[in-house]
Amino acid sequence: MARLRVPDSDSSTRSGRSATPANATAASDAASGTPATPSKRGAASKSPARRSRSPSRSRSRSPSRSRSRSPSRKSTKTVAAATTTAAAAASPAKSSRSTRAKQLVDKNGEAITTTYEWGGPIGAGFLIPFVPFVAAALPVLCSQDYCLEWKTILTPAVLWAQLCEQFGKQELSDWVSLKAFAVYVAWFLFQVALYLYIPTRKALGVPLKDGKRLEYPLNGLAALVVSVVVALSLQVNFPVLEFLYENFKQLLAASVIFSTLLSIYLFVSAEIKGTGFALGGNSKNPIYDFWIGRELNPRIGSLDLKYFCELRPGLSLWMLLNIAFVYHQHSLQGGFTAQSVTLILVSLFHAYYIIDALLNEESILTTMDITSDGFGFMLAFGDLVWVPFTFVSSSRYLALYPNTLHPIHIAIVLAFKFTGLYLFRGANSQKDTFRRDPTHPSVSHLKTLTTSTGRKLLISGFWGMARHINYFGDWLMAAAWCLPAGFVHVVPYFYLMYFIPLLLHRERRDDEHCLHKYGKDWIKYRDIVKSRIIPGVY
């Protein structure tokens, strides 16, 4: 969803956060070459599809969610009653102006959320307990003693019997540990200290509604290096890596509890302040607002909680968990073997993702997560639990069930990885270059379609191949994470199984958003660039 999600930015994350692999521009904006000014970026939209930290997210606000000056309550109520969906769809530009004039506000002047995502309060009420269950189910479905096989899924009676047996074995002590919780809290506070005290340059975020721009430290990569060095140094006197491996479930449970407590704090704090809400986080429904997030930029002093959680504790823990898996296999086998190569390969894929995200840390300042989303359970859980504990499904599996790859198989996996990376990075780089400087030699030859709003949509190069060619690259890279596990068991393919439908859904939502935004121009664009994600196939 990103990121839950995966880390999310144009250059480093994918959704998804975000993710995000792995965090989604409406294809219009993904293919758009019109340079974005800071003020436009500050109005970045709730993308119709949220979570994976996907490489390209919409930076223009949907008409139905536009920021505006607040009219009088009386006139707002009068005109709001006359607003219809049909009228909005008929004229996107006119609808956007009309919506801005009719935005309902609360007693503090904060815009009231009138449209829902994720199924509204009912969907949020379902997801709040469901996503922790999914995260916790993965280590149950694949442990040292049992791992769900694909063939079992084809026999419902056998599947049900196995599920009942495995979940029935779980003891409270398997999950709840004060020591693990204390270690997790200490880890989180250590990351806070690194955020606050490692010297670094700072970047300015996009302008807020009042015109101010917040400062953000760019020391995420340095914090990762320090974290790994400290953990390995402690290994001499304290078995850090063994603790991570042996207490995986307890640490997962600790992170769920911690992210829930953090979300409660965020909700109560935002309620007390009564201002600074994200456009989508002020529905006045406590369940929905708790899930989606109320406050846009919750801070404790200079600590920006949302920005900090986006790429710091989760990604660093993910890296250390993979190191722990490699160390466990090395200790078990008495050294590195042919089987070690497979786990190391997957761990290197993950490490590339993590380092790439932190190298491009500044780029997340213009993503939807930072500019538009409130910070609530969805993002807190995604950053602190979903990313580190579900994205390791394939590497954890290989630590439990080592697999030796034939050189041909390794070549196939690498082909998936680098083809995906070429499409993913090439498409995003082409788009970003065109936005910054349409006259740049590498993009000046590209064909464009100019819309009635003045935006230019790329219709050649990467973006002429498919409207979301970067998603195809994402899928190929996700497959490279999973394929080394072989084809016997289910859990190592979890990331790919959730990522494919996530991007399919996101693409459909983006298409609807762009049709509403660009009208006939979008229909013309679809006639030119016919493929959605996979050129000539879909």
Of 157, 332, 127, 129, which Cα lies nearest the Cα of 242?
332
Residue 521 CA to residue 389 CA, distance in Å, equals 43
- Please write the tens of the pLDDT for every residue from 127-143: 999 999 999 999 999 99
- Please write the tens of the pLDDT for every residue from 242-292: 999 999 999 999 999 999 999 999 999 988 887 777 777 777 888 998 998
Does the structure show a pLDDT above 80 at 112? no
In this prediction, residue 417 has a pLDDT band, given cuts at 50, 70 and 90, of very high
> What's the whole-number mean pLDDT along residues 175-190?
95
Describe the crossing of helices 338-359 and 313-333 by its angle, rounded to 10 degrees.
170
Of the segments 151-155, 369-373, 501-505, which one has the largest average pLDDT value? 151-155
- Please write the tens of the pLDDT for every residue from 330-365: 888 777 777 788 999 999 999 999 998 898 888 888
CA distances from 303 to 182, 218, 300 (A): 21, 13, 5
Among 24-28, 438-442, 462-466, the minimum mean pLDDT is found in: 24-28
Does the structure show a pLDDT above 70 at 14? no
Does residue 494 sit in helix, strand or coil? helix
Residue recorded with tokens 């993965």 = 138
Judge residue 45's burial from the number of C-beta atoms within 10 Å of its C-beta, 0-12 exposed, 13-18 middle, 19 or more buried. Answer: buried
Q: Are 58 and 369 in contact (CB under 8 A)?
A: no
> What's the whole-number mean pLDDT along residues 87-115?
55
> What's the whole-number mean pLDDT along residues 176-180?
94
Q: What are the backbone dihedrals phi and psi of residue 2, each rounded to the nearest 5 degrees, phi first?
A: 145, -80
Residue 202 CA to residue 44 CA, distance in Å, equals 21
Among 278-282, 328-332, 514-518, 530-534, the minimum mean pLDDT is found in: 278-282
> What's the whole-number mean pLDDT along residues 525-533?
91
Q: Are 287 and 128 in contact (CB under 8 A)?
A: yes
> What's the whole-number mean pLDDT along residues 197-222?
89
- Please write the tens of the pLDDT for every residue from 379-398: 999 999 999 999 999 999 99
Residue recorded with tokens 């989760």 = 314
> Tell me, what's the pLDDT at 11?
36
What is 242-307 written as a DSSP string?
HHHHHTHHHHHHHHHHHHHHHHHHHHHHHHHH---B-TTS-SS-HHHHHHH-SBSS-EETTEEHHH
- Please write the tens of the pLDDT for every residue from 62-95: 333 333 334 443 344 333 443 443 344 444 444 4
Judge residue 361's burial from the number of C-beta atoms within 10 Å of its C-beta, 0-12 exposed, 13-18 middle, 19 or more buried. Answer: buried
Q: What is the token pair recorded at 238?
A: 């304290």
Q: Rounded to 5, what percent of the chain is helix, strand, coil?
A: 60, 5, 35
Of 188, 195, 319, which Cα lies nearest the Cα of 257?
188
In this prediction, residue 49 has a pLDDT band, given cuts at 50, 70 and 90, of very low
Higher pLDDT, 453 or 377: 377
> What's the whole-number mean pLDDT along residues 147-169?
93
> Tell me, what's the pLDDT at 509?
79
Domain boundaries, given as residue ranges, for the chain: 120-528
Higher pLDDT, 184 or 58: 184
Higher pLDDT, 44 or 219: 219
Buried b (16+ CB within 10 A) or exposed e, 459-479: bebbbbbbbbbbbbbbbbbbb
Percent of the chain predicted with pLDDT > 70: 80
> Tell me, what's the pLDDT at 13?
39
- Please write the tens of the pLDDT for every residue from 283-322: 788 899 899 888 888 999 999 999 999 999 999 999 999 9
> What's the whole-number mean pLDDT along residues 482-508?
91
In this prediction, residue 4 has a pLDDT band, given cuts at 50, 70 and 90, of low
> Tell me, what's the pLDDT at 32?
56
Mean pLDDT of the chain: 80
> Tell me, what's the pLDDT at 452?
87
Of 248, 198, 200, which Cα lies nearest the Cα of 227?
198
The DSSP symbol for 37 reads P
Cross-strand bridge partners of residue 458: 448
H or E stretch including 450?
A: strand 448-450
> What's the whole-number mean pLDDT along residues 214-219?
92
Does the structure show a pLDDT above 70 at 102? no
Of 77, 83, 27, which Cα lies nearest the Cα of 55?
27
> What's the whole-number mean pLDDT along residues 493-508?
89
